[in-house]
Amino acid sequence: MKLGALAERAGITLSEGGDASVTGFAIDHRKVAPGTVFGAFRGASFNAEDVIPEAIQAGAVAVVARPEVAVEGAVHIADEEPRRAFARLAAGFFTPMPNVIVAVTGTNGKTSTVEMTRQIWRMCGERAASIGTLGVTTPDESVSTGLTTPDIVTFLSNMSGLAREGVTHVAYEASSHGLSQYRNEGVPVSACAFTNFSRDHLDYHKDMEDYFAAKMRLFDEVVDDGGTAVIWHGGEGSEWTRRAIEHAQQRALRVFTAGEQGEDIRLLARTPTQLGQTLEIEYEGMQRTIKLPLIGAYQASNALVAAGLALVSGADASMVFDAVGRLQPVRGRLERAVIAPQGSPVYVDYAHTPDAIEAAIAALKPHVDAEKNGRLITVFGAGGDRDAGKREPMGRAAADQSDIVIVTDDNPRGEDAGAIRAQVMKGVHAAGSEGAQEIGGRRAAIAEAIRLAGAHDIVLIAGKGHEQGQIIGSGENMRVLPFDDVTVARECAAEQGAA
Ligand SMILES: CC(=O)N[C@H]1[C@@H](OP(=O)(O)OP(=O)(O)OC[C@H]2O[C@@H](n3ccc(=O)[nH]c3=O)[C@H](O)[C@@H]2O)O[C@H](CO)[C@@H](O)[C@@H]1O[C@H](C)C(=O)N[C@@H](C)C(=O)N[C@H](CCC(=O)O)C(=O)O
Ligand SMILES: Nc1ncnc2c1ncn2[C@@H]1O[C@H](COP(=O)(O)OP(=O)(O)OP(=O)(O)O)[C@@H](O)[C@H]1O
Ligand SMILES: N[C@H](CCC[C@H](N)C(=O)O)C(=O)O
Ligand SMILES: [Mg+2]
């Protein structure tokens, strides 16, 4: 493919070098081969502008970099925002693309929503895939990528690879990191969704406004002109929801709202049942009853946003709502791991923000039998090298709503695990929780929760969900010790059951 044609498609004017043949794209100079276009970005830990000469020596035909950077011996594609220019240029190279691509942003619920959208499409007969924290999930397999949003080259090549395998519909998760680093764009996005917004990632984003602006790039720039924005508009509503609607309107997107205050899918009533919940909804003037086989208000929200995405991308309403009634659980999201020896269910959930902890506990609370003095026992921790300011509110939220809390470790990374727990405990104490325990080792903490659990109690193990390891140390000292909450809970229950 000629560089000139790729540039023209991306709206980039080249003064020279249009005839060069492009064989690939790379953002890491060690991956450059003859004919590669190299994106030279300044990152958090490395400045790739320093290795441009090495990239050219390895055969780079063009370098996308800031205008002030020196590029000798290859075409300099100069742009103040090189990551964006690179994404647009690379998008022309990675073809074909799936016919329907939708993207989901929000603080919590992205992974669940893209996965539910995939399932709904599949039940409507489409070949569908999802890309997000759980990896790339297709009708045939699920492959982990390590990050929620892979780097732009991986993202684009995954998309075209899926299209080549015959996948026509893809839902992908747009994290704020990915959006602010232009790691997931360049593809046609016909609809986008916003689940909710609350505190997270304030280690990376300056403040809540900065974090919100990163998310809103999806609405402001990434989605196609004339696309649709599906927005959750829940019971109490939120200022952020109102602002998301404004962003969509400013961009002249079609606005589709779902929720108790939804204009398009109106949630009229939600009744928890033993194994799920019954939803009464109204869509296009017609009332429907859906038996959602998943518990928790938050799962109903994500399911209805997913239904919205399927509807706005052309699926038949009866098939969509029928599919919602057949959704399978999403790995690590209120997943029932085991029944503890005394008879109490043990749930694993990926809640790792104050808001998510509240949502996970609220989901389980109706299932605790208060008349029999049932208790909710919550085991959780907070991640190292991530937003430290969320730790205390997480502690407070957990202690406020649970009967017993056990604070433990969750990926301490480069930080002192005891110091992280102390910050979480501050919130626990602020909530006036007595009898809270601090148990560093996650296995020991889970074992203790299961030991404490009586016949009418419920155990919630929050924070790691589907994760398969405990991350300890950083940089060259980083180690990932195998750890899976579900497996550990089963092992602890078996050990105690046998005793
Ligand atoms: C803070 C952050 O998001 N960092 C990500 C970012 O790194 P960066 O651009 O700052 O990269 P860098 O390491 O400083 O390097 C700069 C550039 O030099 C290049 N390089 C580097 C070394 C070299 O020898 N040669 C070379 O050319 C690199 O390829 C890169 O293009 O881009 C990299 C490549 O795309 C990512 O791997 C990296 O993710 C790190 C590992 C990470 O932990 N990210 C987390 C926080 C993250 O992104 N999480 C979100 C999920 C959040 C959520 O779901 O809530 C996600 O979307 O996954
Ligand atoms: N709609 C929601 N409202 C509130 N909390 C939610 C919602 N959806 C999910 N959660 C909580 O957030 C946790 C993570 O859910 P999920 O993985 O779907 O979100 P995510 O946005 O992809 O998270 P991440 O940013 O880590 O990728 C769940 O386990 C649950 O505790
Ligand atoms: N995508 C989130 C996941 C957090 C999960 C939790 N287990 C932790 O390590 O903090 C992040 O990278 O912040
Ligand atoms: Mg996710």
The whole-number pLDDT of residue 146 equals 75
Task: Write down the pLDDT at residue 322.
Answer: 98
How remote is the CA of residue 476 from the centroid of ligand 3, in Å? 20
Closest by CA to 339, choosing from 498, 494, 499, is 494
Residue 201 contacts by C-beta under 8 Å, 6 or more apart in sequence? 176, 177, 211, 386, 387
Residue 313: pLDDT above 60?
yes
Percent of the chain with pLDDT over 90: 87
Is the model's pLDDT at 189 over the cut of 70? yes
In this predicted structure, the answer to whether residue 303 has a pLDDT above a threshold of 70 is yes
* pLDDT top residue among 237 and 20: 20
Q: What is the CATH number of domain 335-498?
A: 3.90.190.20
Residue 436 has pLDDT above 90, yes or no: yes
- Per CATH, which fold does 100-324 belong to? UDP-N-acetylmuramoyl-L-alanine:D-glutamate ligase (3.40.1190)
From 88, 60, 62, 65, select the one nearest 78 (Cα to Cα): 65
Q: What is the CB < 6 Å shell around ligand 2?
A: 106, 108-112, 133, 148, 173, 175, 195-196, 298, 301-302, 333, 349-351, 355-356, 359-360, 465
Ligand 3 atom nearest the C-alpha of 383 is 10
Taking residues 461-486, report their average pLDDT: 96
Residue 220 is predicted with a pLDDT of 95
Q: Are 67 and 141 in contact (CB under 8 A)?
A: no
pLDDT band at 418 (very low <50, low <70, confident <90, very high): very high
Encode pLDDT of 168-183 as tens digits: 999 999 998 999 999 9
Across the range 412-435, mean pLDDT stands at: 94
Please work out whether the CB of residue 458 comes within 6 Å of at least one atom of ligand 1: no
326 vs 316: CA distance, rounded Å: 16
How much is the mean pLDDT over the chain? 94
Confidence at residue 469, expressed as pLDDT on a 0 to 100 scale:
96
**Where exactly does CATH 3.40.1190.10 map onto the chain?**
100-324
Ligand 3 midpoint to CA 205 (Å): 15
Checking ipTM against 0.90, whether it exceeds it is yes
386 is in an annotated binding site: yes
For ligand 3, atom 10: residue with the closest CA:
383
| Residue ranges of the chain that CATH labels 3.40.1390.10 | 3-91
Q: How far apart are CA 339 and CA 331, in angstroms?
A: 17
Q: Determine the residue of 181, 350, 478 to mutate for testing ligand 1's pocket, defined as the one with the most ligand atoms within 8 A of the Cβ atom.
A: 181
Q: Which amino acid is at 148?
A: T
Nearest to 68 by CA among 86, 52, 45, 91: 52
Superfamily of domain 3-91: MurE/MurF, N-terminal domain (3.40.1390.10)
Token pair belonging to 65? 């970099």
**Residue 197 above 80 pLDDT?**
yes
Ligand 1 center–CA 204 separation, angstroms: 12
Q: pLDDT class for 498, splitting at 50, 70, 90?
A: low
The model's pLDDT over 347-363, given as tens digits with 9 standing for 90+, comes to: 999 999 999 999 999 99
Q: pLDDT at position 141, please?
A: 82
On the question of pLDDT at 432 being above 60, the answer is: yes
Give start-end residues of each CATH 3.90.190.20 domain in the chain. 335-498
